[in-house]
Amino acid sequence: MNEPRRHRQVSFEFLGTGVSSGVPVIGCNCLTCTSKDPRDTRLRCSAALRFGDDRGEQRTILFDAGPDLRQQALRARLERIDALLFTHNHVDHTWGLDELRRFNTLMEGPVDIYANDHTLAFLRRVYAHIFDAPSNIQPSYVATVIPHRLLPGVPETLFGLRITPIPLLHGKLPVLGFRVEAAHPTVAARMGIDELLPLAYCTDVSGIPPESWPLLEGLRTLVLGALRPRKHATHFSIDQAVDAALKIAARETWFIHMNHEVRHEPVDRALPSGIRLAWDGLVLPRTRDDERDQSEWARGWLE
């Protein structure tokens, strides 16, 4: 599905908003999996933040790289990845790493990737052909990356943005969310990012530790995982995500990582104001024109 694209100084695009299996689920004939609403088709979770940096250069920061990255990059017309931030090691968030080789070619250099120790250890083990390329039987076209270690709560400054890893719990697994904001308030106005940032990207979450709540204060935009109506051991249910979102009180909240028990239209309609389900291809910030275009665009398949 393609909504009309507008020129924006800064944009945050949802490349995928689905559960680890994606939606539709293979072999499933439920109402969501057979829905004609394009918002019920969800690739694995990933997002791209595109902006002009403090020197006016175009930059793209990618959040996670799942198995659908190739398709997502084509659809969103990604032409560069200046930094790739990993939330955690699960397959639905990491198995697009091989696709970075195309960005190596486009950008004529390695891609900087950022993750915590647990995720970096996983990547080194699974992607030995990338991290230990000299051991490959023969030279071959594999991705080239520069790994950077993230520590929970310790910010990184990237291209004029301050990115703070937020400690979160995904069942028993400590994972990261990311708080993204201007490194300096004066830069925020120049970069035109006031209407989007501060933004927090928190995908696979079942618990927010006490020390992380201050990192979720004063948000313009919250992106939060909400798996399904029923409770789950390692993900917020819709109700739990609503409770967390109301407590965090961002200006707007968008849910991601939904499974096929979540049919977009009825579930989205029932959410409190300021909280909505995201969909693949959604671009923030939304303007009134975007909302109008969407209702025209939606007319064809709603009903």
Residue 31 sits in the site that holds Zn ion (CB under 5 A): no
For residue 47, give both structure tokens: 């997002």
Among 30, 106, 151, 249, binds Zn ion (CB under 5 A): 30
Select 235 or 276, whichever has its Cβ closest to Zn ion. Answer: 235
CB-based burial label for 303 (10 Å; 0-12, 13-18, 19+):
exposed
From the CB of 262, what's the least distance to Zn ion, in Å?
A: 10
Q: Which residues contact 232 (CB under 8 A, 6 or more apart)?
A: 206
Residue 28 sits in the site that holds Zn ion (CB under 5 A): yes
For residue 100, give both structure tokens: 């970075």
Residue 68 sits in the site that holds Zn ion (CB under 5 A): no
Among 13, 82, 92, 181, binds Zn ion (CB under 5 A): 92
Would you call 182 helix, strand, or coil by DSSP? strand
Segment 184-213, which members bind Zn ion (CB under 5 A)? 204
Can you spell out the DSSP letters for 120-161? HHHHHHHTHHHHTGGGSSS------EEEEE--TT--EEETTE
187 Cα distance to chain centroid: 24
Among 39, 42, 59, 90, binds Zn ion (CB under 5 A): 90
- Tell me the number of residues near Zn ion by CB under 5 A: 9
Q: CB atoms < 10 A from the CB of 121, how many?
A: 12
Select 123 or 183, whichever has its Cβ closest to Zn ion. Answer: 123
Segment 259-288, which members bind Zn ion (CB under 5 A)? 260
From the CB of 75, what's the least distance to Zn ion, in Å?
A: 20
Segment 33-52, which members bind Zn ion (CB under 5 A)? 33
Would you call 43 helix, strand, or coil by DSSP? coil
Residues near Zn ion (CB under 5 A): 20, 25, 28, 30, 33, 90, 92, 204, 260
